[in-house]
Amino acid sequence: MKNNYTLEVKNLQVWYEDQQVLKQISVKIPKGKITALIGASGSGKSTFLRSLNRILETNPVVKIDGLVKIGGQKIYEPTTDLIELRRKVGMVFQSPTPFPKSIYENVAFGLKVAGVKPNQSKKPWWQIFEQKRTANEIENSEDFMDKVVVNSLKEAALWKEVKDRLHTSALKLSGGQQQRLCIARAIAVQPEILLLDEPCSALDPISTKKIEELLLKLSDKYTIVIVTHNLHQAKRISDHIGFFHLGEMIEFGESQYIFEKPEQKLTKEYVGGHFG
Ligand SMILES: Nc1ncnc2c1ncn2[C@@H]1O[C@H](COP(=O)(O)OP(=O)(O)O)[C@@H](O)[C@H]1O
Ligand SMILES: [Mg+2]
């Protein structure tokens, strides 16, 4: 039988120093869907998300126990290639984090890390980036890297807005555009899973709507896990919801049930807006 779960977590526990912040979390996150993680601030949502691509352990005081499987592979095995894992499991943070480089370079970044060379080529990177080619030239280029940059920007619904300034600094974009650029950068390396940690919390309602529409579109192709403190957002975009409370995943289920007929009293109180 085909495995429809992209992500399986079993008895996951996390400590910061001696403080246990995730307690025995077990969940299966369905493939090609949007899962929203909700819960009060400090309940462990970010910690959980960051355990899924092992970015969590960049903090030396963290201790992790339990099992995380992605597409059947146990990611906490010592043989796991972390660069490959983080390619497969891309991440977008709360405040947009473009590099202080051109828009083009931001999207091409992951390919560069993966060792892809522009123009199959002998040309050094700086030469490619210094050529101020027009949008037309880049869009019609046969070069692999150009194709990836153009397609990723299109997929992230940003191409039209930035095509005539691909060589200018990404830091000049608005917050909402920067966030879509970070999504373009993540999808340029063909991930399977996209993790987003409150990606809209610093954005205005129009940019938020654009990101939500984008995520709905991308969920055809990617498994998306998004932390959000916005219950309306969770309702609008998610297929499934995991509710966190004090380091436990109290309930996981289809969004409609979580909102209309949750099994747990705590979930009911939270989605009813009684605390949080
Ligand atoms: N880097 C850290 N060092 C120590 N404790 C942390 C760190 N990050 C988070 N915590 C603690 O872990 C718990 C869960 O935090 P977090 O995962 O950020 O929750 P959420 O994303 O739901 O707000 C909180 O008690 C928080 O104070
Ligand atoms: Mg958080």
Residues 52-64 have pLDDT tens digits of: 999 999 999 999 9
CA angle, residues 184, 34, 276, in degrees to nearest 5: 105
Cα end-to-end span (Å), the chain: 40
Closest atom, ligand 1, to C-alpha of 59: 1
For the chain, which residues make up each domain, given as ranges?
1-97+192-276, 99-172
Write b or e for each residue in 46-55: b if 16 or more Cβ atoms lie within 10 A of its Cβ, otherwise e. bbbbbbbbbb
pLDDT in tens, 245-263: 999 999 999 999 999 999 9
41 lines ligand 1 (CB under 6 A): yes
Dist. CA 44 → ligand 1 center (Å): 6
Nearby residues for ligand 2 (ion, Cβ within 5 Å): 46
Give the residue, 189 or 276, on which the prediction is more confident: 189
Nearest-10 Cα torsion for 116, 120, 125, 127: -160
The mean pLDDT value of the chain amounts to: 92
Q: Identify the pLDDT of residue 1.
A: 46
Spacing, Cα 39 to ligand 2 middle (Å)? 10
> What is the token pair recorded at 133?
């080619």
Q: What is the per-residue pLDDT across 135-148, written as a single tens digit (0 to 9) for each?
A: 999 999 888 889 99
Ligand 1 near 42 CB (within 6 A)? yes
Candidate from 12, 17, 19 with most ligand 1 atoms within 8 A of CB, to mutate: 19
Specify the CATH number of the domain 1-97+192-276. Answer: 3.40.50.300
pLDDT 10s digits, 92-144 = 999 999 999 999 999 999 888 777 766 655 667 777 777 788 999 999 988 88
Ligand 1, atom 25: closest residue by C-alpha: 42
Residue whose CA is closest, atom 2 of ligand 1? 16
C-beta atoms surrounding 165 within 10 Å: 15
Cβ of 43 less than 6 Å from ligand 1: yes
